Structure 1
């Protein structure tokens, strides 16, 4: 019976840590666009995973590019999800009114009226350029 070939000490956990960090950061970026609050939490975990992977990679003599890349992607996801979450919290009353309007809207034109009401309410609360930057994004 032969013994299995093993990677040098520290190399396998370092590679796994860097892969884990990059996958968490990609998942955090995806979650940012679906559920911003979940993206916020996942991005924080991804930053921690990337930060923990760097010393492991350095001691194993491996390049740290993947771990640094995961920290960069996670930071972008963290920023975007924090902004989206803050916007949702700031416009919570307007969004609740929009949801109530959509529940009672029976036609496409009445749904369009609900969106128009939401947009007008948001314009009153936000600076004038913000909605122009966001374009015709529907909640």
Structure 2
């Protein structure tokens, strides 16, 4: 039986730390669009992994670009998921009423009425500057 070949001390953990940081940040960004609260948690883990990878890569004499990229992407995912989660929590009552309306909606037109009701109640609750920002983002 042969012994496994190991990388020089400090080299493999540094390489894997950089890759881990970028993959976690990409996963956090994807998760932000599906489940914002999970994206928030994942972005925090990705940010910590990127920050921890920097000294490992510097100490091994490796380029730090992959860790810096992971930090940048996870920071964007963190901001986006925090905003989306905050919006969901702020409009929780309106969204619950929308879900109840959709349970009783048997036709497409009644589902459309549920959405119109949700939009109107959300617009009454949101500040005018947020509404302008949301309207500017619509295609």
**TM-score, with normalisation over the residues of structure 2?**
0.92
Q: 1:21, 1:53 within 8 Å by CA — same for their partners in 2? A: yes
Residues 19, 109 of structure 1: CA spacing in aligned structure 2 closer, same or farther, 3 A cutoff?
A: same
How far 1:111 moved relative to its partner?
0.4
Tell me which moved more, 56-65 or 120-129. 120-129
State the match for 1:129 in structure 2.
132
Larger deviation, residues 75-84 vs 126-135:
126-135
1:68 aligns with 68
Question: Is 1:54 equivalent to 2:54 in the alignment?
Answer: yes
Alignment RMSD, CA only?
A: 1.6
Q: C-alpha displacement at 1:9, in angstroms?
A: 1.3
Structure 2 residues not aligned, in runs of 5+: none
Distance of 2:49 and 2:31 partners within structure 1: 17
Q: TM-score, normalised by structure 1?
A: 0.92
Aligned to 2:24: 24
Cα distance in 2 between the residues matched to 1:131 and 1:120 = 14
* Displacement after TM superposition at 1:100 (Å): 0.3
Is the counterpart of residue 109 in structure 1 residue 104 in structure 2?
Answer: no
Aligned length: 136
1:89 matched to which residue of 2?
A: 89
- The alignment partner of 2:24 has SS state of helix
